[in-house]
Amino acid sequence: MLFAAERLMTSCHLSIDLVIGDVAITQGKSYWACCVDPSSYLVKVGVGLESKLQEWFQVPQDVVSPRYDPDSGHDSGAEDTTVEAPPPYAFLTIGMGKILLSHGSALTSRDPNGCTVPLPPRIGICLDYEQGKVSFYDAVSFRELWECGVDCSGPVCPAFCFIGGGALHLQELVAHKQERKVTIGNFAKLD
């Protein structure tokens, strides 16, 4: 089932709920973490170009079906001249207490096939906006799970997709957390 998760996004009739973060990232590096309930059916954790996430969520399911082919039907060669751009979103797929890792990327997996790893207690997501790169970590051991490019030509938002039900606990953005200085007598305390 995990291997079919990418196709599941566009060809199933399960309930799909997309949650887009209310904070758009437009510069710098940002890091946050979340805990995914291991009993969740399928959860996708990641980031996406704000405009494309909203567009994706509003597109009717039959348009994004594998049966729909946006190809013009002729071999003009026009499709071959496009430069490969980074994808508008990047998601890590989680289900049944495991993480599905994409083939063909540099992974640090203990699985000899490089396909799945056990779900850690917390997953960290680090977005480097200027580099157009997102990295996913085991937020307990800080071991990198997966890294990929993402389109950062506009505001990028954290995004979470629940397929068939699931739950997660989001920890607040760590990189954007401001320290508050409180003075007590001659001592300063940082919260």
The domains of the chain are located at 16-58+86-102+114-170
pLDDT value, residue 18: 87
Q: Count Cα atoms within 13 angstroms, Cβ side, for 71.
A: 10
Contact between 163 and 155 under an 8 Å Cβ cutoff? The reply is: no
DSSP per-residue string spanning 2-68: GGGHHHHHHH--S-EEEEE-S--B-SSEEEEEEEE-TT-SEEEEEEEEHHHHHHHHHS-TTTSSTT-
Q: What is the pLDDT along the chain (191 residues), one digit of tens a residue?
A: 545 554 545 555 667 888 998 889 999 999 999 999 999 989 999 999 999 987 776 644 444 433 334 444 445 555 555 568 899 999 999 998 999 986 544 444 444 455 889 999 999 999 999 999 999 999 999 999 999 999 999 999 999 999 888 899 988 655 544 443 333 333 333 33
State which fold the 16-58+86-102+114-170 domain adopts. Answer: Jelly Rolls (2.60.120)
pLDDT value, residue 66: 37
Contacts of 66 (CB under 8 A, 6+ apart): 7, 10, 11
Q: What is the pLDDT of residue 177?
A: 42
DSSP category for residue 129: T
